[in-house]
Amino acid sequence: MRKIFISATVFLLFFNTVLLSQNAFEIIKKADEKFRGKSTYGEMTMTIVRPTWKRTLKFKTWGKGTDYSLALITYPAKEKGQTFLKRKNEMWTWNPKISRLIKMPPSLMSQGWMGSDYTNDDILKESSIVNDYTHKIIGSEKIDGIECWKIELTPKENAVVIWGKLIKWISKKEYNQMKSEYYDEDGYLIKTDIASKVKLMGSKRIPTHIEIIPADEPNHKTIVDINSMVFDIPISDNFFTQQNMKRLK
């Protein structure tokens, strides 16, 4: 009987571990699909805050699944017209002021987009939190009064990602990503994203105010406000081309 009891206990522990892993994966998948949708179009304002100055950018973004994304800067005049394209495994930037198209190497994905604390990987969504990581529920906490799952994401062995580990807080009721911590390969915290102001955008309720705070740079942060966003709009793969990068306004 004792052997049977021990075996049953081991089985239950194994079953619960597998179940939690599956739940964590499904939670992350739902959260990612909610914000990504089949396709998206959004208009955003970014404020880069530094100890002695701050500046504002406005931009539009289009996305389709995990393979296509495009961003167009609309303000200020100095940067207006610059575009950033991801098409499957290739990434490009176009600067109309100098009429130059540049292919972006993977090494640039960890660099700040337009001098902000938002990385090129963030804006172009190069890595996938669903496919490139394994997932584990490690707790439950409230963020801004909202009950959330706390989930640890660790890179898969052959995944090409820029982070050594992620921790995300996903709201239990609406599957919104309310907070994210980004760690390097040595386990040091690099930055934290904190989301708030959940509002109805198109057909979905999502956070519309995000603060990106670097861990080792006091009084530095980047604020992203989503002014509008619509989901699941008809958009062709041919929209995401180098030719279209040069035409968008």
Domain spans, the chain: 22-247
With CA atoms as reference, report the closest residue to 35 among 227, 225, 202. 202
With CA atoms as reference, report the closest residue to 75 among 51, 101, 47, 49. 47
- Tens place of pLDDT for every residue, the chain, 249 residues? 544 444 444 444 444 444 444 599 999 999 999 988 899 999 999 999 999 999 999 999 999 988 899 999 999 999 999 999 988 878 899 999 999 999 987 667 667 788 898 877 666 655 688 989 999 999 999 998 999 999 999 999 888 788 999 999 999 999 999 999 999 999 999 999 999 999 999 989 999 999 999 999 999 999 999 999 999 999 999 999 999 999 998
Q: Over the chain, what HEC string results?
A: CHHHHHHHHHHHHHHHHHHHHHHHHHHHHHHHHHHHCCEEEEEEEEEEEECCEEEEEEEEEEEECCCEEEEEEEECCCCCCCEEEEECCEEEEEECCCCEEEECCHHHCCCEHHHCCCEHHHHHCCCCCCCCEEEEEEEEEEECCEEEEEEEEEECCCCCCCCCEEEEEEECCCCCEEEEEEECCCCCEEEEEEEEEEEEECCEEEEEEEEEEECCCCCCEEEEEEEEEEECCCCCHHHCCHHHHHHCC
* pLDDT at residue number 18: 44
Please state the pTM of the whole predicted model: 0.84
* 208 CA to centre of own chain: 13
In whole angstroms, what is the distance from residue 95 CA to residue 16 CA? Answer: 52
In whole angstroms, what is the distance from residue 117 CA to residue 73 CA? Answer: 16
Tokens of 133: 């990581």
Considering the domain 22-247 in this protein, what is its CATH number?
Answer: 2.50.20.10
| Residues 46/160, Cβ–Cβ less than 8 Å | no
Q: Which residue is it, tokens 């100890």?
A: 51
In whole angstroms, what is the distance from residue 7 CA to residue 176 CA? Answer: 39
User: What single letter denotes the amino acid at residue 193?
Assistant: D
Residues 6 or more apart whose CB falls under 8 angstroms from that of 44 comprise: 58, 59, 60, 61, 224, 225, 226, 227
In whole angstroms, what is the distance from residue 41 CA to residue 135 CA? Answer: 28
* pLDDT at residue number 177: 96
In whole angstroms, what is the distance from residue 57 CA to residue 47 CA? Answer: 6
| Residues 143/167, Cβ–Cβ less than 8 Å | no
